[in-house]
Structure 1
Amino acid sequence: MKEQQSIPTSKVARATQFVKTGVKIGGNYLKYNVKKMVDPAFTKDELHLDNATDIYDSLSQLKGSALKVAQMLSMDRNVLPRAYVDRFQMSQYSAPPLSGPLVVKTFKNYFGKAPHELFDSFEIKALNAASIGQVHVATLNGKKLAVKIQYPGVANSISSDLKMVKPMAVRLFNLNESDIERYMGEVESKLLEETDYELELRRSMEISKACAHIPNLQFPVYYPEFSANRILTMDWLNGQHLKDFLLTNPSQDVRNKIGQALWDFYDFQVHQLRQVHADPHPGNFLMQADGTMGVIDFGCVKVIPDFFYENYFALINPDTVEDQAKTERIFYNLEFLVDTDTESERRMFSDLFKTMIDLLGRPFAVDSFDFGDETYFDSVYAFADDLAKVDALKNSKVARGSQHGLYINRTYFGLYSMLNELKANVVTNKPDWLVSSKKKQLA
């Protein structure tokens, strides 16, 4: 892959890149409209592919929050046409890397030395490059290390980038503008945290230690003495990303072991630590043939407030939904319903959210769940498609749902998606208070 010699860091330079992308998108629409006039049966497939390619190429040059938004969107197969998902998934671990001179400059800024002066060896060519930073291989005292280096200017450009990404997302992906505005602050705060490698270092060490007891998980050792605000050094973990791992045709037993480790990892974080690795895309996990899995990149961690936790997960217990008054109270607490709703709106949104809870909570309602069951995922996707067609929701001037739900929903969607790709059958361990009293009586 061709190396990138520089990154636009000024507001003017980055805005210019967005404008160029907008012009290309306009040209793609013009080309589509002309072809549609000639052939009324002409579909939008080519338009989606052209737009996805142009947007990804542009954002991958900008790096940072612009590319991170593409990565986040690629996890949601219900929001985007397939062409966008396929292209944006590349941002998870295959963006164009920075050139060697920029890497050396970053090291000298923080350590006063070039990387080859700190390590016994250092591969100047990046092995992986994603949205916020890229990873290099180094060795020291016989140990193989992974050194993550953040792209220059990423942290300083987050606010302005998000302002420029917003209208593009609203127009192309038919998103609700009030929802976008509501959650922008949450996204911005998390992206700013992801650029703070000193914070990531602390969280990585704390969560790794707390989760070390979970079977079949591996965590790297981190090295504070070779880390800084924009550089993070850790042990190298062996393994393959999900897509490559599945090409090895692992047995069902191995798939289940990895799936179980994933489920238990998130169960412990959410319900015991009340903070969670909220970036569950395949680029952050390394899978091995023996059924073990390495976990990397704790840049995006969502701390779960007690009030949100207690209300959100109360809905997982079927007993709650059977209590109409309690359910309605929680819907207001979580801002699914608002005081300005009419009676018809209250009924409609209540029914929609109850259906959503039933679908997304189904794995919690049983002792074990087969995530390879495509009928379950077909029903989830069908519901999402129907949801996108609800005019009252799409045109609502009121954002629905607490901003804290953004990263929790994203976490579970990412987890479910990975378990689905693994075709894993897992024991759905959970706290006792999430289990229905009726089920306890039958046990």
Structure 2
Amino acid sequence: MKEQTNIPTGKVERAGRFITTGLKVGSNYLKHYTRKLMDPSVSKDELHADNAEDIYDTLSHLKGSALKVAQMLSMDKGMLPKAYSDLFAMSQYSAPPLSGPLVVNTFLKTLGKTPTQLYDKFDMTASNAASIGQVHKAFKNGKPLAIKIQYPGVANSVKSDLRIVKPFAVRIVGMSQVDMDKYFDEIETKLLEETDYKLELRRSMELSAQCAHIPNLVFPGYYPELSSDRIITMDWLEGHHLKEFLQRNPSQEARNQIGQALWDFYDFQMHQLKRVHADPHPGNFLMRDDGTVGIFDFGCIKEIPELFYTNYFMLTDKEILKDEATRMQIYTNLEMIHPTDTQKEIDFYSGLFQQMIDLLTLPFTQETFDFGNEAYFQEIYAYMDYLYNLKEIRDSKVARGSRHSLYVNRTYFGLYSILSDLKAEIYTGAGRFKLLQQPPVAV
């Protein structure tokens, strides 16, 4: 893939790129409707493909929070047309990398030395490039290392990028402006945290130590003395990203073992630590044929407030939900139902939510669950599509759901998606979590 020799960092220049892309998208729509006048059978597939290519080309060269939003959207199967999700998924680890001079400049500015002065060997060609940074392989004292380098200007452009990318997100997803406004503050907070590599380094070391007892997980060691506010040095982990791993035709035993390890990883964080690795896209995991999985990139961590946690997981208890008054109170606490709702609105939305909850919490209510059950996921996607097209929801002036649900739901959607691709059959019952409990590790 061709390297980038520069990244636009000024607000005006970055905004100009978005405006140009917006004009291209508008032109694509004009061409589509012109063709449709001539041939009413023309579908939107070509329109989506043209728009996806134009938008991704812009986002992948701007990097940063704009590309991160595209990455987040690609994880939610069924939310985007396939042309978008397939292309946006490339931002997980296959975005255009930075050129060598920009890499060296980052080292000089933040560590005061070049890569060749710090490491015995440094590969100037990036191994992976994503939305906020790229990874290079290096060696020191015979040990292979992974060097994560943040793109220039990423931290300073988060706020302005999100203001610009919001209209694109509204148009692509079809979500109303009020819905996007409610959650963009949460997205902005998390993206600012992800650009703070000193915070990420500390969290990486803490969470790796606290989860080290979970079977079949592998975490890298970290090197603070070779890290800075824009560089993180860690051990190099061997393995394959999900797509390449599946192409190796792994055994069902290995799939199940990796799936169980990932479920245990998230279960332990959610229920004991109350803070969770909230970026479960395939680019953050390396899978091995022996059924172990390497985990890294703790830049996006969601701290879970106690009140939200209690109410959220009450949704997995069918006995609690049988009591109408309790169920309505939980919905209200989670901002799914609002005090200003009419009785008609309460009846309508509570019915929709209950069916969605029954579907999404099914794995929690069973001792074991087969994530290879395609009918289960088809039912989920069909129901999501039904909700997406409901006029009452599309015309709603009220956003439903706590801001905390954004990253918690994203975490479970991402986890479910990976487990589905693995076709893993695993233990999901409450007894599994009890096996993993241990006193938090002091770090």
Same fold (TM over 0.5): yes
How big is the shift at 1:355?
0.8
Q: Is the 8 A contact 1:264 1:429 kept in 2?
A: no
Letter of the 1:149 counterpart? I
1:203 aligned counterpart, secondary structure: helix
1:290 aligned counterpart, secondary structure: coil
Counterpart in the other structure of 2:424? 424
Q: Is the 8 A contact 2:366 2:429 kept in 1?
A: no
Q: Is the 8 A contact 1:32 1:44 kept in 2?
A: yes
How big is the shift at 1:87?
0.4
Aligned equivalents of 1:176, 1:409: Cα separation in 2: 19
Q: Deviations over 1:301-322 (max 9, x none)?
A: 0000001000110111111211
Counterpart in the other structure of 1:121? 121
Letter of the 2:203 counterpart? R
How does 1:161-180 map onto structure 2 within 5 Å? 161-180=161-180
Letter of the 1:197 counterpart? Y
Counterpart in the other structure of 2:285? 285
2:369 aligned counterpart, secondary structure: strand
1:116 aligned counterpart, secondary structure: helix
Letter of the 1:380 counterpart? I
How big is the shift at 1:433?
11
Q: Is the 8 A contact 2:145 2:234 kept in 1?
A: yes
Aligned equivalents of 1:179, 1:433: Cα separation in 2: 34
How does 1:101-140 map onto structure 2 within 5 Å? 101-140=101-140
How big is the shift at 1:429?
4.0
Q: Is the 8 A contact 2:266 2:276 kept in 1?
A: yes
Q: Is the 8 A contact 1:49 1:83 kept in 2?
A: yes
Aligned equivalents of 1:323, 1:361: Cα separation in 2: 18
Does the alignment pair 1:375 with 2:375? yes
How big is the shift at 1:395?
1.4
Q: Deviations over 1:97-146 (max 9, x none)?
A: 00100000000001111111000011111111000000001100010000
Letter of the 1:293 counterpart? V
Letter of the 2:143 counterpart? K
Counterpart in the other structure of 1:75? 75
Counterpart in the other structure of 2:194? 194
Aligned equivalents of 1:322, 1:350: Cα separation in 2: 13
> What's the Cα RMSD here?
1.1
Gaps of 5+ in 2: 435-443
1:175 aligned counterpart, secondary structure: coil
How big is the shift at 1:431?
6.4
- More deviation in 28-37 or 131-140? 28-37
How does 1:41-440 map onto structure 2 within 5 Å? 41-430=41-430
How big is the shift at 1:389?
1.4
Does the alignment pair 1:17 with 2:42? no
Letter of the 1:145 counterpart? L
How big is the shift at 1:53?
0.5
Counterpart in the other structure of 2:437? none
How big is the shift at 1:10?
0.4
Q: Deviations over 1:372-412 (max 9, x none)?
A: 00110011001101101122211111110100000000000
1:86 aligned counterpart, secondary structure: helix
Aligned equivalents of 1:343, 1:39: Cα separation in 2: 46
2:430 aligned counterpart, secondary structure: coil
Q: Is the 8 A contact 1:240 1:286 kept in 2?
A: yes
1:228 and 1:238, CA in 2 relative to 1: closer, same or farther beyond 3 A? Answer: same
1:396 and 1:433, CA in 2 relative to 1: closer, same or farther beyond 3 A? Answer: farther
Letter of the 2:49 counterpart? L
Q: Is the 8 A contact 2:264 2:433 kept in 1?
A: no
Aligned equivalents of 2:276, 2:30: Cα separation in 1: 44
Aligned equivalents of 1:344, 1:235: Cα separation in 2: 57
Aligned equivalents of 1:377, 1:127: Cα separation in 2: 33
Counterpart in the other structure of 1:438? none
1:433 and 1:280, CA in 2 relative to 1: closer, same or farther beyond 3 A? Answer: closer
Letter of the 2:190 counterpart? K
Q: Deviations over 1:239-276 (max 9, x none)?
A: 00000000000111110000000100000000010000
How big is the shift at 1:173?
2.3
Q: Is the 8 A contact 1:271 1:431 kept in 2?
A: no
Aligned equivalents of 2:21, 2:221: Cα separation in 1: 41
| Aligned positions, number | 434
Give TM-score, length-normalised by structure 2: 0.97
Aligned equivalents of 2:102, 2:431: Cα separation in 1: 48
Gaps of 5+ in 1: 435-443
Aligned equivalents of 2:82, 2:316: Cα separation in 1: 30
How big is the shift at 1:170?
1.1
Aligned equivalents of 2:139, 2:61: Cα separation in 1: 29
Structure 1 residue runs of 4 or more that deviate by more than 4 Å after TM superposition? 431-434
Letter of the 1:147 counterpart? I
Identity percentage over the alignment?
Answer: 62
How big is the shift at 1:172?
2.6
Aligned equivalents of 1:403, 1:433: Cα separation in 2: 26
Q: Deviations over 1:344-394 (max 9, x none)?
A: 100011011111110110001100000000110011001101101122211
Q: Is the 8 A contact 2:287 2:293 kept in 1?
A: yes
Letter of the 1:141 counterpart? N
1:432 and 1:118, CA in 2 relative to 1: closer, same or farther beyond 3 A? Answer: closer
Letter of the 2:286 counterpart? L
Q: Is the 8 A contact 1:285 1:296 kept in 2?
A: yes
Letter of the 1:138 counterpart? A
How big is the shift at 1:432?
9.0
1:401 aligned counterpart, secondary structure: coil
Aligned equivalents of 2:99, 2:131: Cα separation in 1: 15
Counterpart in the other structure of 1:441? none
Give TM-score, length-normalised by structure 1: 0.97
Aligned equivalents of 1:234, 1:433: Cα separation in 2: 29
Q: Deviations over 1:280-311 (max 9, x none)?
A: 01000000000000001000000000010001
Aligned equivalents of 1:133, 1:320: Cα separation in 2: 44
Does the alignment pair 1:35 with 2:35? yes
